[in-house]
Every structure is written in structure tokens, then in C-alpha cells.
Structure 1
Amino acid sequence: MKKRSRGKGLFVTLSVLPALVLFIIFMVIPTINVFWMSLFKWGGLTNNKKFVGLNNFKILFQDMNFVRSLKNTLFLIVIVTIVTLVLAIALAAILSRDDIKFKNFFRIIFYLPNILSVVVISAIFSAILDANTGIVNATLGFFNLENFQRMWLGDQKAVIWCIAIAMIWQAVGYYMVMYMAGMSSIPKSLYEAADLEGASKSYQFFNITLPLVWNTVRTTLTFFIISSINLSFLFVKVMTSGGPDGSSEVLLSYMYKQAYSNSAYGYGMAIGVVIFLFSFGLSLVINKCTKRDTIQF
């Protein structure tokens, strides 16, 4: 028995070891390096490093451009997350019903944006929102609403909303499919019993469907918040490059510019540390706030 136990333990160790080594090399060590480099004033291309301690962080929170990028990131996290998950859950609930015609067609249509790359989606929305040839201004002009026409990606107030809409369009279908998978596992007998009791569809949704897929919602909520921080950089990079005048800058795009465009690598790594701590802390808060007893059937 002892030999068998040792053999099993050795097999598990050898199975886990490659993944653990890769995790340490590509995740742990780079993360530690980011924290270490944030303590230096360094351009990134020379050996001339100057240890400045926490001075980069002191400068950081006095930098109004950083504060603006933080506000934009928070805005996208809140708006994109709420709208995307609400739409995804609503569409999943509707398309999971047996009486919906052409539901497979609609599933494909809603999931299609997720197949496209972020670059393609950004190019599509850039064309749609173009001030001269875009369909948005053309439609407003057709209905004699010229007062509402504007340079959507050149307007400091409208640009962040345009990015949010593009991110929502890209993500809804993916999360809809995930929620549909969770809803498909709910026994039909629960809904049949609710129908016999005279419960409305909305009552069934909030008291049967949503509680039974809550673990899926909770998991995707954390995942989406973290991924939206990464995706916001890609959308901003392709659609606006942070413009106009930094109005659409987000944390990752501002970090990229400081580290690789402004030759302030140490300062950029300080922003990276803030992003890491912000993401980690936000994940803990979301997990704590959404925690509830598991409902089984």
C-alpha cells in the first residue's frame, strides 16, 4: 500500500510540475520583476537605473492624466459589465425557451461578434462612427437630426461611450452562451410546477432561473471585470490611441505609453503595479459581495 501511495504521489507531482514551472517562469517571476522595476527611474533601453523607492508612486497619484485613465477604466468596468451581463442573461433566458422560433439562428447572430478579433470589431465601429462616412451620422441626417451629429471618436464626452458600446457588442454573445449552458441544466419539472402554481414568467426567472445559475453568473462576473481591463486597452489602441487629448485613455494604454513611448519604464511599471493590485482587490470584493449559499436541485 505504501509503495502504491508513493507511486501515486510521484505521478501527481510529475504531472503538476511542468505546469508549476511554467507558471513560475511566466507569471510569478515577471510579476515580481514588475514590482521591483517600479522602484527605479529607468528609460528601459539603457543600464542607467536610479533607485527612487516609492517616488514613482508619489508622482503617480499627482498625475492628472493617470487619474483620468483610472476614471475611464472604472467607467468601462461598471457600464460595460452591468449592461453586458444584464443583456446576456436576458437573451439567454429568452433563447432558452422552447416556444421561440429561429432561436438557433439568433444564437449564431449574437455569438458572431465573439468570433471576430478585437481589431476587426474596432475597425467596424470606427467606420460606423466616422464623422463623414459613418452610418450613425448618415442616419441622423436622414431623419433631419443634424443637431445630434458629431465627431463621435473626436468628442471628449462621447468617445468613452463609443468604446463602451463596442466592448458590449463584442462580449454579449459569449456570456449569453455560457448562461444558456447553465440554464439548460435546470430541470423542466421546476418550471412545470411553477406554471401549475400560476407563477408568471418573470417570477420564475427571478426565483428559479437566476438563483440556480448564480454560481455561473458569479464566476463570469469576476472573469469579465478582469478581462474588460485588458480588452479596453485593445479597443482604445485601435479606435482612438487614447485621444482626443487623452479623453479615452485607460490604465493599460497609459502604462504602455509611459513605458514604451515616453521612455519612462520605471514609471510605467509603477502603473502596472497599481493595475495588478487594483484587479486583485476588485476580484476579492466581487467574490465577497456575490457570495451566497449554493442552491441545489
Structure 2
Amino acid sequence: MNRRKQKNIFITLCLLPAILLVSIFIFYPTLTVFFMSLFKWGGYSPEKEFVGLDNFKILIKDMMFMRSFQNTILLIVLVTIITLALALIFASILTREKFKGVNFFRVIFYIPNILSIVVIAAIFSAIYDPTSGLLNNLLGMLKLDGLQRMWLGDQKIVIYSIAFALIWQAIGYYMVMYMASMASIPESLYEASSLEGAGAVRQFFDITLPLTWNTIRTTLTFFVISTINLSFLLVKAMTGGGPDGSTEVFLSYMYKQAYTNSSFGYGMAIGVIVFTFSFILSAILNKITEREVYEF
């Protein structure tokens, strides 16, 4: 047996466990979701009725699904833009500026990311409590009683209350990632730009942002997908989709249909839409954020 064949066998043996695990826990469940979306099934009954694409036809006319779709899009756009923008700004400040307590602020910003999403839901549920919550009491102390709200009970603002919790939870994690990328930028680039009269803002847009763009691209795609997942967990723990479905998102509505309303096939149809939407959105983001790689 020649050396090349031995090398190929070795590589195959090394990859085989990973391929088996991915096939069992990712590919097979995904194919099962697509298959089950073609059936009308309660999830527990042994009888399944093949209905083809009927579940998807019902889905198009389902106004609650459309509402969950709108809420998901809103959270993706709002949470992603604000979180990544603030994470970049804080990372730049903590990397470039020299002041006392930098390490302290790094730890403080990262703490929310190590908390369980259930703990975060409990914290913000207490903050948003209309009678004893921190937010309304603080507004009362500042004589801003007119701004006090039922933060988790008002259909017009409850989705924004969820969005704020998501932003608070994620900033620290992405800030640390951007700090690691910014730390590799040579200091000489900033010194040269300072000699030419560039200020901190100009340096951020002309040096920091272009040289961390690959990291931004990666985190952007990752964050959009994680927002879809985390929004379900936060909604489930804080509002259960209420009031009156105003905080329903993709996965919370899928969960209700599949496991609460005993419409498993219909829930799997929603799962197919979520999978397709996530895949297409990731491809679009990768395409529109494609830039020339800067080297230094």
C-alpha cells in the first residue's frame, strides 16, 4: 500500500466519527422534518394522513404565522443592527483607549453572556414588572410617570421589551470577539493616521472597520441565526407568545402547533419554512457583505 493511499485511509477514519454524528443528529432530523411536513398528524396517534403541500397552503393564510414572521424579522433587524453596532463601539473604546478599569469593564460587559437565558428572562421580567419593577419605579423617581408602561402587557411595545433583553444579553459576547480581532491590528497604522491628522472616528471607519470586516461578516450570519433561536427561548420564558400573540416568533409558534395544539405535521411545515428562511438569509448576508480582504 503506497503512502498516498495510507494517508487517505487515515483521513477517512478521522472524519468518519464526525460524519456519522452530523448525519445522525443533523441530516437525519432535518430530512425527517421535511418528510413529516407532508402529513396531517397529531404527533401521538399512530395514524398519519398524507396531505402533500396542504400544510403549506394553510400556512400562507395563517395570520398568526404571518404575525410571528413579522416579529421575527423585526427582532432580526433591530437586535442585529443595535447589538453589532454597540459591540463594535465598545470593543474599539476598550481596545484603543487607555484608562483605569478597562479589564473591569470587559468582565462586566461579558457577564450577561454567561447567564442562562431563563435567568435573563427572570431578571427582565422583574425589571418590567408594572408595580414593583425597577424600570417603572425609576421613571417615577425621575418624575416621568407618563412614560410608565405595562412593558410586557402592552401589545405595541412588548416586542421591543423582548428586543432590549436580547441586545443586553448579546453585546458582551460579540464585543469580546471584536476586541480579539482589533488587537491584531498593528499600532503603527494608527500612529501613521494620527500624524496625518485623522481623529478617533476617522480611524475607526478607515482602519478598524475594514480590518475587522471578516470577523464582522462571520458574526453577522451567526448572530442572525442565534437571534431566531434565542428569541424563542426568551419569549417562551417571559411572555409565552402573549399578549394575544403579539410576541409570537417563528419557533414559539412552531412549538405551539406541534406540541400544544397537536398539529405536528403543521408544526413541521413551519420548521421547513424556518430552515429555508435561515438558509436563504445566510446566503444573502454572505453575498452582500462580501468585500476585498485587506492585508497588513
Where on the TM-score scale, by shorter chain, does this alignment land: which range?
over 0.9
Query: Take 1:55 and 1:78, find their aligned partners in 2: how far apart are those partners?
Result: 31
Instruction: Provide the residue aligned with 1:164 in structure 2.
Output: 163
Instruction: Provide the residue aligned with 1:229 in structure 2.
Output: 228
Instruction: Provide the residue aligned with 2:81 in structure 1.
Output: 82
Query: Take 2:205 and 2:195, find their aligned partners in 1: how far apart are those partners?
Result: 17
Give me the identity figure in percent: 64
Query: Take 1:143 and 1:292, find their aligned partners in 2: how far apart are those partners?
Result: 47
TM-score (norm 2): 0.99
What's the offset of the Cα at 1:7? Answer: 1.1
Alignment-mate amino acid for residue 52 of structure 2? G
Task: Confirm or deny that 1:148 pairs with 2:147.
Answer: yes
Instruction: Provide the residue aligned with 1:269 in structure 2.
Output: 268
Q: Deviations over 1:204-262 (max 9, x none)?
A: 11111100000000000000000100000000000000010110000000000000000
Instruction: Provide the residue aligned with 1:254 in structure 2.
Output: 253
Instruction: Provide the residue aligned with 1:16 in structure 2.
Output: 15
Q: Structure 1: where are the runs of 5+ without partners?
A: none
Conserved 8 A contact 1:94-1:100: no
Alignment-mate amino acid for residue 90 of structure 1? I
Alignment-mate amino acid for residue 65 of structure 1? M
Query: Take 2:97 and 2:84, find their aligned partners in 1: how far apart are those partners?
Result: 22
Q: Deviations over 1:146-165 (max 9, x none)?
A: 22222110110111000000
Structure 1 stretch 122-131 or stretch 132-141: which is displaced more?
Answer: 132-141
Q: Deviations over 1:123-170 (max 9, x none)?
A: 000000001110111112222222222211011011100000000000
Query: Take 1:143 and 1:101, find their aligned partners in 2: how far apart are those partners?
Result: 30
Conserved 8 A contact 1:66-1:254: yes
Query: Take 1:269 and 1:195, find their aligned partners in 2: how far apart are those partners?
Result: 57
Instruction: Provide the residue aligned with 2:290 in structure 1.
Output: 291
Conserved 8 A contact 1:39-1:56: yes
What's the offset of the Cα at 1:89? Answer: 0.2
Alignment-mate amino acid for residue 55 of structure 2? N
Query: Take 1:145 and 1:88, find their aligned partners in 2: how far apart are those partners?
Result: 29
Return structure 1 stretches of 4+ with deviation > 3 angstroms.
none
Alignment-mate amino acid for residue 270 of structure 2? I
What's the offset of the Cα at 1:98? Answer: 4.5
Structure 1 stretch 4-13 or stretch 163-172: which is displaced more?
Answer: 4-13
Alignment-mate amino acid for residue 239 of structure 2? T
Q: CA RMSD in A?
A: 0.8
Instruction: Provide the residue aligned with 1:214 in structure 2.
Output: 213
TM-score (norm 1): 0.98
Alignment-mate amino acid for residue 202 of structure 2? Y
Alignment-mate amino acid for residue 137 of structure 2? A
Q: Structure 2: where are the runs of 5+ without partners?
A: none
Instruction: Provide the residue aligned with 1:55 in structure 2.
Output: 54
Query: Take 1:148 and 1:91, find their aligned partners in 2: how far apart are those partners?
Result: 28
Task: Confirm or deny that 1:92 pairs with 2:91.
Answer: yes
Secondary structure at 2:126 match in 1: helix
Alignment-mate amino acid for residue 89 of structure 2? A
Alignment-mate amino acid for residue 95 of structure 2? S
Query: Take 2:60 and 2:129, find their aligned partners in 1: how far apart are those partners?
Result: 35
Query: Take 2:145 and 2:126, find their aligned partners in 1: how far apart are those partners?
Result: 19
Task: Confirm or deny that 1:110 pairs with 2:117.
Answer: no
